[in-house]
Each structure stands twice: as C-alpha cells, then as structure tokens.
Structure 1
Amino acid sequence: MAGPCCDDVVAGFIKLHDLEGLQQFTPSNYDWTRDVGEFDLPPLVLLICEDVSKPTTFLKCAEWMIQSGADPQQKAKPRICYSWWKNDNKDATKVSIELAGRSAISLAFERIRVFKEGKGGANWSVDIKRMQDFVAMAARRAAWKDQKMAVHHRVIDRWESFRNMTSTHNVIFETADGEVSAHEQMLAVASPVLKAMLESCMKEGSSKHIQIKDSSGSGISLFLDALYTGSTCVEPHYKSMLVALDLAHRWQVGDIVDMFSGFLPNMITVDSSVEIAEAAALKGLEQLQRSCVSFGSTNEHIQSQLLDHLWILR
C-alpha cells in the first residue's frame, strides 16, 4: 500500500525530473491526489516549483504524471512561499510566489507573469517558455480526456462471441465451484503473470490447467468478461466483483483493477462495506478506501455499530 515512504520517493524523483525513476518506483495504483514532499504539495505543483531548465525531462514528467492521474488543477494548501533567483545576483533578482490556493496551472501562469517583469534585469525567457509549454500540454491533455471514442456495439458483440467460442478455448481454470475456460493468447497478452505461468515448465504450462480453488467460478467469469469485452452481460454480485478484482490484482492486469475499483463504490452498502473496505486496504486502492470511509461516516447503522463496539471494548 502506498504511504508516506512512497510519497517521499515520488517527490524525490519529481524534484529531479527523473521520468525513468518515477515510472520504475511509482506503484501502478498510486494515488496522484496525495500531497507529497517536504511541504505537502500536489505532485504537479511540486514539479512546477522546481528548476525547469531541462525542457525535455520536465515536460515528459509532467505529461506522464497527468496521464497517470495527477490533476493540474489540484490546489496547494500550505501557506508557504516559493522563491526563484539568478545565482549571479540573488538579492536583486529574487521573486517569490505564495502557493496556498494555487494549482499547477495557476502557478505556471503566475510564474510567467512575475518572470516577465524581469526584476533586477533577470532574463527568465527559458523558464517562461517552459511554463507556456506546460500550460499548452495540460490543456491538450484535458481536451483528450474529455473526448471519449464510442465503440460500436458490434465490436463488443464480436469479442463476446469470441469469448463464448468454448470449443477453441485451451486454458482451464479450476475454481472453487467448477471449471471456466479461456484462450491462452488472450490471457498471455493481458497478464504478464499468466503469460509466465502458461509458458513455464511447471504444471500450469504443460497442462494448461490453472488452479484457483480460493476463487468462485462467477468471479473468474466476470474477470474474463471484462478482459475480453470491458463489460458483462450479467448483473454482478459484489462478492463476484471482489473475486474478479482480486484476480486482476494478483495477475497484474491494471486496467481491469481500475475498472472494478471504479465500479465498486456503487456497490457499497451496510452489508458489503466491510468486505469492500478490507479489499481496498489490502490492495492499496486509496480512492476506494475513501469511498468506504465516506459511506461509513454518513451511515447511521454503521455509526451505531461502531458505538456499540466501543461500548463493548470499555
């Protein structure tokens, strides 16, 4: 689970504008809404505060962070000032900007404004260009995010038909309540873990049988539905979705993890909240955890249970 130690690592690579380090050491389920660094700043605000003299690494880091979930409009909370100056004349060229209430985009615009004033005769043209490039990139990414490509229903129908061609399946999952089958090629393309298992000299590779006796058939079927089509024709129970989420997490299929963790908040009830919260905590799914906490904090039944539990502990 991502925590303060991970935040410090992420902040360190951000300050270095080290894209390769960020990609290697940031967990796939990292919550980019977390504040990071010494002053607890939004990740992109921290990036904007640092030296931007290396245009390629700065912009690539910014774009990758936005693509990964960092919000260029997330505002900083700490009431601190960040300063910039020219090393050959610090006192005359030093400029400061208060960060509280500023997002990465608004901070970029403010840096452009104060740098254009050229205090002390400083030439900030390179930094101004970097800030302009960042704002343009962030606007472009926002436009792409808002545009959703419609998938024709016949495309999904084709993949669903392929999924149902059981006579061509060559991998068998042995679940707690029966067998479920799939295509080896689909599994290998989607999951590096399953690919390694099916190509190994172990039993799974030679027999094409994978035992998951701790998982229900409905759970693996839901996982496969999502894998093939990104949807399902059945109305899933939350327990089946938790099994499917566990399998996607275990087999490192990140997009399916995102899909199920994004849908599970709609399935939080008094009966399901504990199991969903436990799964979210074990897998480090912080946004799902927050949904569970939010539900529990406003549900009278759960609040009553907590009070009863505290009374028993006394």
Structure 2
Amino acid sequence: MTGNKDHGADEALYVKSVVDASPQPGDSVADLASAALASHMDALNRLSGVGSDTANVARIYDYYLGGKDNFEVDRTVAEEVLAKNPDVRDSALANREFLGRVVHYLVSEAGVRQFIDLGSGLPTQENVHQVAQAAAADARIVYVDNDPVVLTHARAMLATNQNTLAVGADLRDPWKIVHEVRALIDFTQPIAVLAFAVLHFLSDEQAYGVVNTLVGACPPGSYLAVSHVLDTAEAQTGRAIYARRSANAGLVLRSPAEIGEFFAGLELVHPELERSPGNAPELVHLSQWRNEEDSTVVRDRFMLCGVARKLEP
C-alpha cells in the first residue's frame, strides 16, 4: 500500500547491523569501527521513524552512558546539558550501578524471580536480565518500552534467552502492560516492578497511574524500585534545554515528597547495609542505597531513589 513504512524490513536491517557490530573471528577493532558503524547508524535512523533531526531521550541517556546508539542531535543536547551540569553523567552512571545493586538484592536477599522493567531504554552493560540471571538462572524478566529502536535492539540481544522478553507497550496504558507481560510473568508470585529514571518523563496522572496499576496487580511480597530526578535549579536548566531543543519527551520534576508518593502504602527497604539504631528507612541519593563503598560521597545529587515491598492487606 502506498505510503506504508516497511517496518519489518527496517527491523531486519537493524538486527543485522547489531550482529555486524559484534566482533567476528579475524576482525580488528579498527575493522569493526569502520565497517559496521555506518550501516548500524543507517539502520538506527531508518527504524527510529523520526530520523536523526529529533533528539530522543533514550539516545541522550545512551550517550551519557558512553553508548554508540545516538545521533549528532542527541549528542548536541547532551553536551549542552553537561556544559551546564557536568554531574549529570555521574548521575546516569550511578543510576546503572543502583540498578545492579537493586536487582542483586531482590534476587539474592528478597528471593524475587520475576521482573518488569518499565521504559527499559537502549541495552547497555549489566542489564536487568544479566544481573538477575547471574544470581538465579530461572529469573524471568520482561522489558517494556514503546521505542522501536529499543525494542528491536533488545529482541536481537534476547533472541536465545527464553526467560527474557521485550514487549512494546506505552507506560500511559498500564493495563496493556499487565496484559502483555503475562506471556512470561505469573501474577500469583512476587514480582519486582522497576522504574529507573523513567517516571520523570510522565505527567502526574500517567506516572502515578502506571505505578499504582502495576503494583496493584502484583501480589503481596512484590517490590517497587524507583529512581527519579529531583526538582532542583540544575534539573530545571536541563528541562529547559530539552524543551528548547524539542526532545521527544520533557522532564517532569518532582519534590522528595512527590517522589515518596510512588511508595504510598508500601514498606521501604532500609537503604543502609548496616542500620543505625532508630534510623527509619527513607529515600536517598542513588549512590547511598545499600552501597558497600563510602555512601557519604554523593555523586548523584540530582536524583532520589527507593525500593519498597508490598505488604499483606
């Protein structure tokens, strides 16, 4: 039909580019860089649908983490943000480290074997399934995103992993998420709902709605993990840059109390490895959550995080 985009062909091209970008016997690093990068980025451009002239928050975050799945327009926005707030890259890296500690805790200490990762973003190193399945091979993970590039990259990476799935769903439609993830997730057993650095791209109605719907559908003994940008002067500067550069999503900044509302009715996991007497659990900066390193050194002052358990009614 005239005007229809051949999405299947573009997805196949992108999968091929991911494979081509992987080391092959006899390839040097220079060979890989010169031979694979051009086709990979061309496929990324085709599949994204919006072309390389619109900044994309998933690709901007990928750039903060040192990834390659980004365009010049994404790098321009990221560098403008970093020029104003150099610590943003530290926050992005601290968020990945927080993800690793949370997932390891949930598997090894809380006994969770099922994970729903909301707005998972472009795959990097130490993704949820890698951390979880290293600790428990039977752990099941569903990645949820509505970005076609994210989904295609994830599906290519997970093609041989029967306990991991990537589904296309919009966080603004939480009941569709509940329906889609049932292909792998058993809602009679504890589940961890992960919302790392994603809720601040949603309005209040959307953000609280997706959390309340998913946590509400999970049984007691389930967990919610959230990391979220704080409403600070620096974050407001970043939000203005995203808006001025017409990024595909804007930042919704929230106060500590507003971030705490995501955990209403849940029991916070204490963020300290060794609890101080009389010290109640609270939201903390990313590098302070159950970190064996010196948690008094805060590298990620732009974000708060927390993990909480759903109790019996």
TM-score, scaled relative to structure 2: 0.25
* Greater helix fraction, Structure 1 or Structure 2: 1
> RCO greater where, 1 or 2, for CA within 8 Å and sep 6 or more?
2
TM-score, scaled relative to structure 1: 0.25
Instruction: Answer with 1 or 2: which has the greater Rg.
Output: 1
